[in-house]
Amino acid sequence: MACPNSDFSLSIRQRTPVQLDAELHCKGGELLALFGPSGSGKSTLLRMIAGLSRPAAGRIDCGAACWFDHLKGIHLSPQQRSVGYVPQHYGLFPHMSAINNVMAGLSHLSPGQREPQARAWLARVHLEELAARRPAELSGGEQQRVAIARALARDPAILLLDEPFSAVDRATSETLYLELAELKRQLAIPVIMVTHDLNEALLLANRIALLAGGRTLQSGPPDEVIARPVNEAAARQVGIRNIFDGEILRHDRQAALTWLQAGDKALACPLAAELAPGARVRWMVPNSGVRFRAIARGDLPASHNCVRVTVQSLLTLGDESRMTVAMDGGAGTLHVQLPVRLVDELRLEPGKTTDVVLRTDSLHILQAAPCDT
């Protein structure tokens, strides 16, 4: 049932025991990150993909193989799906050595094939010299690599990782990120990773799926999801705080711009011709779209959106400063993060008034959604 170099897709809907309305897609050789808060359905979906839980309705496909279809009565077992599954705390047998833990997952091979296969995978995760050690004698990162070696030694159709970095410290995580990124490039199978850490998802994933309350809010390349969240719920999930009310003024199709009213300021954003003038909307701008240095550098022609702001608060954390600044004209309050060196260079402090540019291509009008009302 393996599906190397093939796509994975899932469409699941149910009301009980856990409400789900999810759509997922992942190509062979890609990593899809399932991102969302606790209780959003991430681990439940992973168990359904693995065949450990049965959905009420929907379909799961890997390549040409159908793993689940409630209409056709198809529900393949985990063994039939050939899934490589790494649980959150790795699931290693404490009384077994690393090599025996990997061999324990190779019951489908003849006894003479198991040890060479296990040693080969331990070598691929750089643990060949620790093959005789038991889990208690390994660090958290080493235990994780043993678990990944065991999952991949079966030549699975898909690799599932349930919060793989939650049990290790930040320094170890940084090393494991690099190793997983390297390993991902070598694999021809879909990799699906559950995480509640947005930075992990942005660093490692080819695609990210935002989940909330068992529902897929949005799925796509990470930079697209961050820059163009479909609605306010998705925007807030990825940490966007600069969300404001506005009204559509007019469209300039020749310049591919839409003008919207924000307070007493007219701001330009990418064309949204489907919205009628007078429509009330919610719009957002990410931190990267707020430019403090643009005016000093003479970059104003690159944007129509010059806004006067007053610094309200300033908090310095390490080499980064977090500020709130009030936009003149009642447009709202911006939350921004700047390097300390830039704050010092511009002499920013509470009460200071200055000008910023809101990048035209960074302003984004959010779609209305049931969760927004």
* Domain range annotation of the chain: 8-237, 243-372
pLDDT at 2: 45
Comparing CA positions, the residue from 124, 346, 105, 335 lying closest to residue 236 is 335
Angle ∠(32,36,37) on CA atoms, nearest 5:
150
Structure tokens at 80: 């039939």
Q: Cα 280 to the chain's mean position, in Å?
A: 30
Please indicate whether residue 297 or residue 226 has the higher confidence score (pLDDT). 226
**Is the peptide bond prior to 156 cis by the omega test (within 30 degrees of 0)?**
no
State the DSSP code for 325: E
Residue showing tokens 């279809």: 69
Edge-first strand listing for the sheet containing 280-284? 265-270, 257-262, 243-252, 280-284, 364-366
Residue 302 has pLDDT above 70, yes or no: no
Structure tokens at 339: 């390097």
Gap between the Cα atoms of 125 and 121, Å rounded: 6
pLDDT at 372: 42
Q: Cα 277 to the chain's mean position, in Å?
A: 34
Which residues fall within 8 angstroms of residue 265, CB to CB, at 6 or more apart? Answer: 307, 327, 328, 329, 331
Chain mean pLDDT for the chain: 90
Residue 297 — very low, low, confident or very high, per pLDDT cuts 50/70/90?
low
Residue 1 has pLDDT above 50, yes or no: no
Comparing CA positions, the residue from 307, 333, 358, 329 lying closest to residue 263 is 329
Q: What is the mean pLDDT of residues 20-27?
A: 95
For the stretch 142-187, pLDDT in tens is 998 999 999 998 889 999 999 888 877 777 788 888 888 888 888 8
Q: 8-14 and 58-62 as β-strands: parallel, antiparallel, unpaired?
A: antiparallel
Identify which of 106-110, 111-115, 229-233 has the greatest average pLDDT.
229-233
Taking the chain, what is the end-to-end CA distance rounded to the nearest angstrom?
Answer: 44
Q: What is the DSSP string of 56-121?
A: SSEEEEETTEEEEETTTTEE--HHHHTEEEE-TT----TTS-HHHHHHTT-TTS-HHHHHHHHHHH
**What is the reported pTM?**
0.87
Instruction: Specify the CATH class of 8-237 in words.
Output: alpha beta
pLDDT at 370: 52
For the stretch 60-74, pLDDT in tens is 999 889 999 999 999
Q: What is the mean pLDDT of residues 130-139?
A: 93
| CATH tag, 243-372 | 2.40.50.100
pLDDT at 373: 38
154-163 as b/e: b if 16+ CB within 10 A: bebbbbbbbb
Q: What is the mean pLDDT of residues 75-97?
A: 90
